[in-house]
């Protein structure tokens, strides 16, 4: 009897242990399935430049109607979007932007850029090795013919100008807009990032993370270089816009993305975006 009692106890212990192991395995599987489900529903990256043509993009230049790609300034060459001025006799304040067709509110944008040797010498001196990507912009069809910059926020790109002075990239500029920096409304048109200065002909990887009208993060080559909040309409710089659009103090919740052309040759590639809910 004693031997039989011990065997029954052993069977009970072994049975309980087996159920415990099965419960752990089941819980682990549940967690794994949940993680897989979360990863599956994560928004995918959208390639917004196909590397072949400008389908889905609309140009707008000062002095020209929306849709007029003056002198073929924006073109696709060897798989990149190129800002090229070989068809110009003079710049004549033809500030241009190439807008993607869809507006975005909260998103993560990635792209690579580098400058070219081209620069229009009659363009303002500040445009030398200077370009940008606009976001939360007004729609291209609302930009007036003689308007210079869209009311928007800019991820500004700079490069070494050859004078030994630091020129960080991934800065913020604000044509017709304002932002909060370090908790306060910042009156400056441009706010420098903490990035190093890059050679003008080096490919740089840029990222822009935007949470609607709250937080904006700029990254350069994978490193965060600038952060600010509350992008909104206000301030100056942009000229000859429709006054009904410029409602100062209005928070910018969404808008269009535009590649800039302001006298300096530049190339863009690997442009993709992930929208957030």
CB atoms within 10 A of CB 188: 13
Query: Are 33 and 159 members of one domain?
Result: no
**CATH number of the CATH domain containing 133:** 2.60.120.560
Query: Are 106 and 20 members of one domain?
Result: no
Give the predicted TM-score (pTM) of the model: 0.84
DSSP 8-state secondary structure symbol assigned to residue 54: -
Query: Are 136 and 2 members of one domain?
Result: no
Contact between 98 and 216 (Cβ < 8 Å): no
Distance CA(194)–CA(152), nearest Å, equals 22
Query: Are 107 and 140 members of one domain?
Result: yes
Rg (CA), the chain: 26
User: How many domains in the chain?
Assistant: 2
Query: Are 180 and 202 members of one domain?
Result: yes
Query: Are 26 and 60 members of one domain?
Result: no
Which residues, 6 or more positions from 57, have their beta carbon under 8 angstroms from its beta carbon? 49, 74, 98, 99, 100, 101
**Is the pLDDT at 33 greater than 70, yes or no?**
no
Output b/e per residue, 231-268; b: 16+ Cβ within 10 A: bbbbbeebeebeeebbeeeeebebbbbbbbbbbbbbbb
DSSP 8-state secondary structure symbol assigned to residue 189: S
Query: Are 50 and 33 members of one domain?
Result: no
Query: Are 20 and 81 members of one domain?
Result: no
Segments forming the whole domain that contains residue 122? 46-275
* Residue whose C-alpha is closest to residue 133's, from 49, 51, 26: 49
Query: Are 204 and 225 members of one domain?
Result: yes
Q: What is the pLDDT of residues 196-246, one digit of tens each?
A: 999 999 999 999 999 999 999 999 999 999 999 999 999 988 889 999 999
∠37-39-40 over CA atoms, to 5°? 60
Lowest mean pLDDT: which of 23-32, 69-78, 162-171? 23-32
Q: What is the pLDDT of residues 89-104, one digit of tens each?
A: 999 999 999 999 999 9
Question: pLDDT value at position 277?
Answer: 76
Mean pLDDT of 123-127: 97
């Amino acid at each position: 009897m004693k031997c039989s009692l011990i065997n029954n106890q052993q069977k009970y212990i072994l049975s309980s242990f087996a159920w415990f192991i099965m419960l752990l395995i089941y819980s682990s599987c549940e967690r794994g399935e949940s993680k897989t489900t979360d990863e599956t529903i994560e928004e995918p990256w959208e390639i917004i430049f196909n590397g072949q043509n400008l389908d889905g993009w609309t140009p707008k230049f000062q002095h020209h109607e929306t849709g007029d790609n003056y002198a073929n300034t924006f073109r696709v060459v060897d798989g990149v979007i190129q800002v090229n001025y070989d068809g110009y006799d003079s710049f004549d304040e033809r500030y241009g932007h190439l807008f993607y067709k869809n507006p975005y509110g909260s998103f993560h944008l990635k792209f690579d850029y580098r400058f070219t040797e081209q620069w229009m010498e009659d363009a303002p001196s500040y445009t030398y090795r200077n370009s940008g990507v606009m976001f939360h912009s007004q729609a291209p069809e609302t930009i007036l013919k003689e308007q210079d910059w869209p009311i928007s926020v800019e991820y500004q790109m700079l490069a070494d100008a050859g004078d030994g002075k630091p020129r960080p990239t991934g800065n913020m500029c604000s044509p017709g807009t304002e932002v909060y920096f370090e908790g306060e409304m910042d009156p400056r048109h441009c706010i420098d990032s903490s990035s190093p200065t890059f050679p003008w002909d080096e490919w740089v990887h840029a990222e822009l993370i935007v949470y609607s009208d709250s937080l904006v993060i700029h990254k350069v080559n994978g490193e965060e270089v600038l952060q600010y909040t509350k992008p909104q309409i206000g301030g100056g710089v942009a000229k000859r816009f429709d006054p009904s659009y410029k409602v100062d103090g209005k928070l910018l919740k969404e808008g269009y993305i535009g590649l800039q052309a302001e006298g300096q040759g530049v190339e863009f590639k690997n442009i993709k975006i992930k929208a957030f809910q």
